[in-house]
Structure 1
Amino acid sequence: MSQNDNVAHALSGAGGGALAMVVTYPLITLSTRAQTESRKEKTGKKVSAVDAAKAIVQREGISGLYAGLDSALFGITITNFIYYYFYEGTKNLYEAPAGQLTTLQSMSAGAIAGAATCIFTNPIWVVNTRMTVRDGSAQPSTLATVKDIYERDGLKAFFSGLGPALVLVINPVLQYTIFEQLRNAVEKNRKMTSIDAFFIGALGKIIATSVTYPYITLKARLQLRRKDNTASSSLIQGIKDIVARDGLAGLYGGLTTKVLQSALTSAFLFFFKEQLYAIAIAILAILRRTK
């Protein structure tokens, strides 16, 4: 695979991720709020995703379901570009002549790409989390949120939640390992289609999200935490704090919504990426000829 192929995968992944984000963002808002709100601060009644959506719309309007969308689009575009660039580049080191990765090779490529992506993009998702769970009806701009975080909590705050994020590298490792192995199985008989990618991508993400959800919750809460909050940032202690405060169910707040959102986002990502890859290859070919 050439350098241009790596860039094409990165561009198509970035574009596919942005389109998938737009389609599923209201579910992202609902799951993020479910993860960051303490059960003890509520009435104790279980609120459905539909009721939560109605409450947000009544309080903040339709735009409330899209709070932080601008930073999320920027974040997912950069995240997916970096991830796919490193993922495809690492695959080049392992790829067999037949073009199929073993399970261990898929896991290794996913781990390297995931770690690089976490380090580069964590500040973006800290900003997005703060914007998504803001209080009140006023919608701060991305730049205003960045300034507020820096002034109130310092530069270190942009890397809050990085520990759980690095642990959560196992999420894309599981997702892409499942995807690669199922794609290998499909392509033994025929060429994989965009529809195949849609359903395989969804299945991989459902399994990965279900396994890693407690750390997803912890990451979201640490990103929301302010400097004057005395809660421990230790991964294990953070899990214990959530259980002590909200019970075991606190680790799985919004799980159904998150799994649905993650599955749909992943499915649309792979679907759009398959469509955009050919376009990216054509654009890069044109750019090469114009040089």
Structure 2
Amino acid sequence: MSDALINGLAGAGGGIIAQLLTYPLQTVNTRQQTNRDPNKTKRKLGTIEQMCQVVKNEGWGRLYGGLAPSLVGTAASQGVYYYFYQIFRNRAEATALKRLTRGIGDGTVGMFSSLVVAALSGCVNVLLTNPIWVVVTRMQTHTKALTKVKQNQDEAIQLAAVEPPSFGTSHAVQEVYDEGGIFGFWRGVIPTLVMVSNPSMQFMIYETLLKKLKARRPLGKNGINVSAAEFFLIGALAKLGATLVTYPLLVVKSRLQAKQVTGGDKKLQYKGTIDAITKMIHYEGFYGFYKGMSTKIVQSVLAAAVLFMIKEEIVKGVRFLVINDVGLKAVKPP
């Protein structure tokens, strides 16, 4: 089994577990990002308050709207990303060793090379998996409509949640296709490609911190000198730094991938990336680019930390099994 395949499968497994643990936070965050109310004086609900409101008005299931395609998307994204990341990383390491033989460098992959490797992997991932995330965004932002209901003349008018019989993956796919045809599945791909800088920065920080930590410690008995808890902490720090820098692009991407308003207020309709950015600045100010940021930091940092920890543990486990299997076959009598 190749190292790239091991890392791809480990990344997919870690991504699925992280997604399951943090999905309600992701749903709330997507709704916060796509909220187009420019009223800054209105009190904004906190993350926990908004989760309780969703449960009260729409039920527990709505916090997990789009979970199935999201898990498929996570497995595909993490698998594709880590597979190509390891391929590009191996080539970068081979190039660094060749440069060392010519007396250039120290034989290790530098910060800039790590950034390029992560960026290339991210671009491949985005182009292949963007349609899945468009569908997931639609399902996360689909809400029950609140309508006025009057039971009889003596009772006050109350708000009741009303929803179509069902809104599953097929409904979201059809909605996206009806709006923009086949190209509708690549809405938001431009800011998403620019967002490649997020995992690129994340991996650059992660690899740099990991390299420094390993360099300061001797190898253990099994060749490992970094614990699962340390992988968790390094992954969290790497994701935090990357999220703080790139969050506005994530908001723009979510706005473009959510259901577009047809008719009525023009400020709620986005024709493309530039149009969305222009209207957000004009109607909401720069505050609009940071809606739900606190929720995103908690969700993404926790998810990334869990992902890195589990991914590295899976890789170590598989490599251990492969090495032992090879060793057993080598000593097995004919």
**TM over 0.5, yes or no?**
yes
From 249, 254, 262, the equivalent of 1:220 is: 254
Alpha-carbon spacing, 1:179–1:39, altered in 2? closer, same or farther (3 Å): same
Q: Could you tell me how far 1:157 is from its partner in structure 2?
A: 0.7
Q: Could you tell me how far 1:100 is from its partner in structure 2?
A: 4.2
Aligned-partner Cα distance in 1 for 2:36–2:45: 13
Corresponding residue of 2:57:
59
Q: Could you tell me how far 1:64 is from its partner in structure 2?
A: 1.6
Q: Does 1:181 align with 2:189?
A: no
Answer whether contact 2:58 2:143 (CA < 8 A) is retained: no
Higher RCO, 1 vs 2 (CA within 8 Å, ≥6 residues apart): 1
Corresponding residue of 1:195:
229
Superposition RMSD on alpha carbons, in Å?
Answer: 2.4
Counterparts of 1:245-284 in structure 2 under 5 Å?
Answer: 245-281=283-319
From 138, 158, 166, the equivalent of 1:130 is: 138
Corresponding residue of 1:111:
119
- Any idea what SS the aligned residue of 2:295 has? helix
Unaligned runs of at least 5 residues, structure 1: none
Kindly indicate which of the two structures has a greater share of residues assigned to helix: 1
Q: Deviations over 1:79-104 (max 9, x none)?
A: 00010011110011111458842101
The share of aligned pairs that are identical, in percent, is: 35
Greater shift, 143-152 or 91-100, is seen at: 91-100
Q: Could you tell me how far 1:141 is from its partner in structure 2?
A: 1.9
Q: Does 1:242 align with 2:280?
A: yes
Aligned-partner Cα distance in 2 for 1:10–1:52: 35
Unaligned runs of at least 5 residues, structure 2: 98-105, 145-162, 218-224, 330-334
- Any idea what SS the aligned residue of 2:135 has? helix
Aligned-partner Cα distance in 2 for 1:141–1:99: 51
Aligned-partner Cα distance in 1 for 2:179–2:200: 35
Answer whether contact 2:188 2:273 (CA < 8 A) is retained: no
Alpha-carbon spacing, 1:247–1:195, altered in 2? closer, same or farther (3 Å): same
Aligned-partner Cα distance in 2 for 1:245–1:284: 58
Greater shift, 119-128 or 33-42, is seen at: 33-42
- Any idea what SS the aligned residue of 1:31 has? helix
Aligned-partner Cα distance in 2 for 1:83–1:205: 16
Aligned-partner Cα distance in 2 for 1:134–1:253: 18
Aligned-partner Cα distance in 1 for 2:304–2:43: 31
The aligned amino acid for 2:23 is Y
Q: Could you tell me how far 1:282 is from its partner in structure 2?
A: 6.4
Greater shift, 108-117 or 230-239, is seen at: 230-239
Structure 2 length-normalised TM: 0.80
Q: Could you tell me how far 1:245 is from its partner in structure 2?
A: 2.1
Q: Does 1:211 align with 2:237?
A: no
Aligned-partner Cα distance in 2 for 1:135–1:42: 23
Aligned-partner Cα distance in 2 for 1:148–1:163: 21
Corresponding residue of 2:184:
157
Q: Deviations over 1:45-72 (max 9, x none)?
A: 2111111011000012111211111111
Aligned-partner Cα distance in 2 for 1:92–1:115: 18
Greater shift, 218-227 or 154-163, is seen at: 218-227
Greater shift, 30-39 or 148-157, is seen at: 148-157
Counting matched residue pairs gives 286
Aligned-partner Cα distance in 2 for 1:94–1:239: 36
Answer whether contact 2:12 2:78 (CA < 8 A) is retained: yes
Aligned-partner Cα distance in 2 for 1:11–1:235: 33
Corresponding residue of 2:160:
none
Greater shift, 215-224 or 152-161, is seen at: 152-161
Answer whether contact 1:164 1:215 (CA < 8 A) is retained: yes
